[in-house]
Structure 1
Amino acid sequence: MASKPVKSSSSSLGGTVFLAAALSAIVAALYLAQDLEPLTQITSDFFPANKPLVAKAPAQIWHQEKQEYAFGRWKSAIKDIRFHYEGESLWHHVPARFQTKRWHYTSVNTPHYFIAIALMSMQYLGPVFVYVVDKTTLEKWETGVMSPLAWGVSFSASSVDPNSCSSYTGYNLSLCYQDDSWHMKLDSIPLTSEHSKETLPFSFDLKMASREALILSFPLANNPLRPAYVHKGAGYPVSGEFTLGTKRVVVDDGLGAIDWTKSIALHRTEWYWASSNFYSPDGKAVGINLSRRVYDVNGASQENAIWIDGTVCVLGEVKVNIPEKNPNEAKWTIESRQATDKDALYLEFVPAGSRAENVNILNVLTTEFVQPYGHFSGHVKCTAEGKTYDINVQDAFGVVEDHVSLW
């Protein structure tokens, strides 16, 4: 039996939020530095290309005595990710404080539904969104807010801190790391259908187990005092339940991904990104994370990887071919720049729908963002610790993204 539609009152709230966000942008304009030079292709001064993935991470990202950051790639998280300005007076390193951005993105793929959750803080603004795609009908249900001054948005001290959570009070949304898992809860928020404009309440209580990670500490724009700390993981087991309207869904075979990031971001930041979590035809739990234009060395992203039954395997450079017309509908392709018998990828992505944002607030804060969701097909070959994996990708649900921001 279908749930009775609930009328949405988001339009007036959205206008109020937008006005407040615009006022926040005026304040931001007083502090934002001039646009930086584009991210250089070569950042080998502090991060050699394809630095090996090390099992054990350092205890802290910033070494106070040496006055330097630990840059590299690891399979386990750094627990102390305080940046160089933290612990000092608020008036020290003001630009770095203001340029620090945080986000926590999680997706969950189940046999019949796809769920995406995102929290972000730009200091002066806090975007939050949640959406659900019914994979049978391809109907999307979503909600989102731009919280002025990131009011109500908070982040855990690190991606694996057991004593704090990423959360948004406006949605009663919390993402907490405890007992080697992320516990994710949401208490009855209204999601609006993209097509019918009906609104249904959405809740979830989910747990995503941790497996090997790809932890990246990267010097943005070849600057040793401009770190990006990134915790990526995909193909992780997800269990629990969620409710959309009156429909309750028990999840015991879901797969999920995490992107937890803290960085002294460049004023102009851009990326291509692809993510998918699925079971291969032979039953392996697989996760994919690919990007370009954000953590590159000689053009090769340092966060390209797949996960096979929880084991992370890094990949080399990929090129992303975005259709010139109708990127929300036309086929994308992603392929290895230099394929080998141990490292090769070719994926085709066919969109089924999308989430997009085009924001311009006083020409100070701008975002051009499109995140199509749909299906991947192709193959991936990757080698980790002497073992080569050959994965067939067949109709795997996931997302791609083209993102450019001035923030």
Structure 2
Amino acid sequence: MSLTAESKEHELLLVHCHPGALESEVSEVCHRTLWLSSTLFCFAYRAHQNQPGRAVCIKLSSAPRRVSSIEDTMKAVWSSLAAVVVAFTVHMSVERCHDGQATHHWRHHFDMAVQNGEPPLYNSVTHGYVYGRWRKPIQAEVTFAGLGRMEKLWNLKQFDYTSISTDQYFIGFALVNLQYVSEVFLYIVDKNEDPSNKIDFDSLVPGGAGVRLSASSHTGCSEGYNPFPALLTPYLIRKCWDEPSRSWNISVDLTARRDKTRASHHIQVQATMKEREAMAFVYPIEDRRPAYVHKGAGLPVSGFVSIDGKHHSFADGLGSLDWTYSLAKHETRWKWVSLSVRAQVDGKDVDLGINLSEWVYDVPEHGSVENAVWIDGTVHPVDGIVDIATPDGDLLVDAWLVKSRKEAKVQLDLTCKPLGFRAVEVNAGVLVNNFVQPYGIFEGTVVLQDGRRVVVKDAMGVVERHHARW
């Protein structure tokens, strides 16, 4: 078997990037081994609103030669891979420049009213996205108009996060698709044992394999699975919307390890999480660069958890969800708070859900559009800035403070004392993922707009700080 490669002359050529160029000018210059690289370069220099750009191509000899050795073959392969890496780096640099171009007009005029019904997402008459907040999520498939293949590859970020809190366990899992890489993680905390010694599972697969996200939070299934069953131990996390029961069916079957002892455990979960009012919104990250997000908290959950065959059934659990489909900025930072717990209002037990953030989805003078509190399934928008103060000392040990400013409609005064954490630290130049998610005990109060005072005590939830360059 022989391979054909092109002899390189290392001559750089600038090629104008416009519709049709890749079929004519570029294809004549960039031959077989570097065609993908030239495409990526062309895309990297586009200004994302179809403005003219320029692409860099490596000119190759038109006379192919036979590759006579493995060394020559590898040189040809690595030259293509190197060019792809350089193209990715160029694109990320251009993205960083665009990140500074904030859509101030849209953010200042964002409609903070929470509307009934579901988001229309796109207006076919005005040919623009419809920004705002709604109490119901999009039922049909979520997709952004005119999203090209390369733009999807580099910019589209999708994830489906779920947490479940029962009397004995706290479970958190996420299915993440960044297009060029996918991640599945799950952890389980036993509240009756050492909470810092969680059971943890994580799988990171290049190319987006191993994760299928649902068409929307209310359509189809999100799945995390082993894409290489012949090489790795099978695993499956599935979360499916069931229209007749208006709920999500959750199933987990995998093997995970203890943090401290590294002991293996077979984990099975079967649960049903009921729908309640949503905080669904479409937000302008930049002009013609939206994010669609469905948040929920205080959702009733029932089912069982099995660890090595030992069953724990529960009928009164509470859950949270975060379904996101976003053309995210290359450089993104956020702080986040999520908990679902039983609390008391005037001595009466209620299902309480809280979802808060900073640095992402912000509107001037209003804070994050996702800030909300749920009482027995009814969503109450905070409509004000909430300060999520990380401790001066150790993020993983010391208390986090969560407090709304005085103009907010809902007043929050909470502390979270970490019991354990999940953390990732990746610093690879153009790619960064610094993520810390302590889970711990919340204490404090929430005062609603109507004056009702909610007492939060011994409530397990999560806080998070995340810096991504993706």
TM range (shorter): 0.7 to 0.9
Q: Select which of 386, 389, 403 maps to 2:452.
A: 389
Q: Which protein, 1 or 2, shows the higher relative CO under an 8 Å CA cutoff with sep ≥ 6?
A: 1
The aligned residue for residue 228 of structure 1 is 291
Q: Does 1:373 align with 2:373?
A: no
| CA distance, structure 2, for counterparts of residue 274 and residue 313 of structure 1 | 16
- How far off is 1:93 after superposition? 6.4
The aligned residue for residue 4 of structure 2 is none
| CA distance, structure 2, for counterparts of residue 381 and residue 135 of structure 1 | 28
Q: Alignment partner of 2:154: what SS?
A: helix
Q: Does 1:144 align with 2:186?
A: no
Paired residues of 1:47 and 1:72 also in contact (CA < 8 A): no
CA spacing shift, 1:97–1:68, aligned 2, 3 Å: farther
2:221 counterpart letter in structure 1: C
Per the normalisation by structure 2, the TM-score is: 0.75
Return 5+ residue gaps in structure 2 as ranges. Answer: 1-80, 227-234
Paired residues of 1:39 and 1:294 also in contact (CA < 8 A): no
- How far off is 1:82 after superposition? 1.6
The aligned residue for residue 178 of structure 1 is 242
The aligned residue for residue 397 of structure 2 is 329
CA spacing shift, 1:312–1:235, aligned 2, 3 Å: same
- How far off is 1:382 after superposition? 2.2
What are the superposed Cα offsets for residues 14-60 of structure 1, whole Å, 9 maximum, x if unpaired? xxxxxxxx99x9474464443146578884535635610011124x4
1:47-86 matches, within 5 Å, as 48=109, 51-58=112-119, 60-80=120-140, 81-86=142-147
Q: Alignment partner of 1:160: what SS?
A: coil
Paired residues of 1:276 and 1:287 also in contact (CA < 8 A): yes
The aligned residue for residue 406 of structure 2 is 338
Paired residues of 2:174 and 2:186 also in contact (CA < 8 A): yes
Q: Select which of 184, 198, 212 maps to 2:263.
A: 198
1:243 counterpart letter in structure 2: S
Q: Alignment partner of 2:421: what SS?
A: strand
- How far off is 1:67 after superposition? 1.1
1:34 counterpart letter in structure 2: E
Greater alpha carbon shift after TM alignment, 44-53 vs 170-179: 44-53
Paired residues of 1:36 and 1:268 also in contact (CA < 8 A): no
What are the superposed Cα offsets for residues 331-390 of structure 1, whole Å, 9 maximum, x if unpaired? 1101012256x52111111000110000123x121111100000111111123xxx4432
The aligned residue for residue 216 of structure 1 is 281
2:109 counterpart letter in structure 1: P
Q: Alignment partner of 2:447: what SS?
A: strand
The aligned residue for residue 101 of structure 1 is 157
Greater alpha carbon shift after TM alignment, 199-208 vs 387-396: 387-396
Paired residues of 1:268 and 1:405 also in contact (CA < 8 A): yes
- How far off is 1:85 after superposition? 1.9
The aligned residue for residue 224 of structure 2 is 168
Q: Alignment partner of 1:79: what SS?
A: coil
| CA distance, structure 2, for counterparts of residue 208 and residue 36 of structure 1 | 42
Taking only aligned residues, the RMSD between alpha carbons, in angstroms, comes to 2.2
- Percent identical pairs in the alignment equals 35
Q: Select which of 272, 278, 284 maps to 2:350.
A: 284
Q: Which is higher, the Rg of structure 1 or of structure 2? A: 2
What are the superposed Cα offsets for residues 111-137 of structure 1, whole Å, 9 maximum, x if unpaired? 111000101111101111000001122
| CA distance, structure 1, for counterparts of residue 308 and residue 170 of structure 2 | 16
The number of residue pairs the alignment matches comes to: 370
1:81-92 matches, within 5 Å, as 81-86=142-147, 92=148
1:156 counterpart letter in structure 2: S
Paired residues of 1:41 and 1:297 also in contact (CA < 8 A): no
- How far off is 1:279 after superposition? 0.3
CA spacing shift, 1:47–1:166, aligned 2, 3 Å: farther
| CA distance, structure 2, for counterparts of residue 169 and residue 140 of structure 1 | 21
Paired residues of 2:107 and 2:364 also in contact (CA < 8 A): no
The aligned residue for residue 271 of structure 1 is 334
Paired residues of 1:36 and 1:267 also in contact (CA < 8 A): no
Greater alpha carbon shift after TM alignment, 92-101 vs 121-130: 92-101
Paired residues of 1:31 and 1:95 also in contact (CA < 8 A): no
1:70 counterpart letter in structure 2: V
Q: Alignment partner of 1:323: what SS?
A: coil
- How far off is 1:178 after superposition? 0.8
CA spacing shift, 1:389–1:230, aligned 2, 3 Å: farther
| CA distance, structure 2, for counterparts of residue 31 and residue 123 of structure 1 | 15
The aligned residue for residue 351 of structure 1 is 418
What are the superposed Cα offsets for residues 82-117 of structure 1, whole Å, 9 maximum, x if unpaired? 20125xxxxx46335530100000000001110001
The aligned residue for residue 35 of structure 1 is 96
Paired residues of 2:338 and 2:461 also in contact (CA < 8 A): yes
1:288 counterpart letter in structure 2: I
| CA distance, structure 1, for counterparts of residue 328 and residue 171 of structure 2 | 27
Paired residues of 2:331 and 2:468 also in contact (CA < 8 A): yes
2:360 counterpart letter in structure 1: V
2:399 counterpart letter in structure 1: K
The aligned residue for residue 5 of structure 2 is none
Q: Select which of 101, 120, 123 maps to 2:179.
A: 123
| CA distance, structure 2, for counterparts of residue 351 and residue 318 of structure 1 | 20
| CA distance, structure 1, for counterparts of residue 100 and residue 358 of structure 2 | 11
Q: Alignment partner of 2:198: what SS?
A: strand
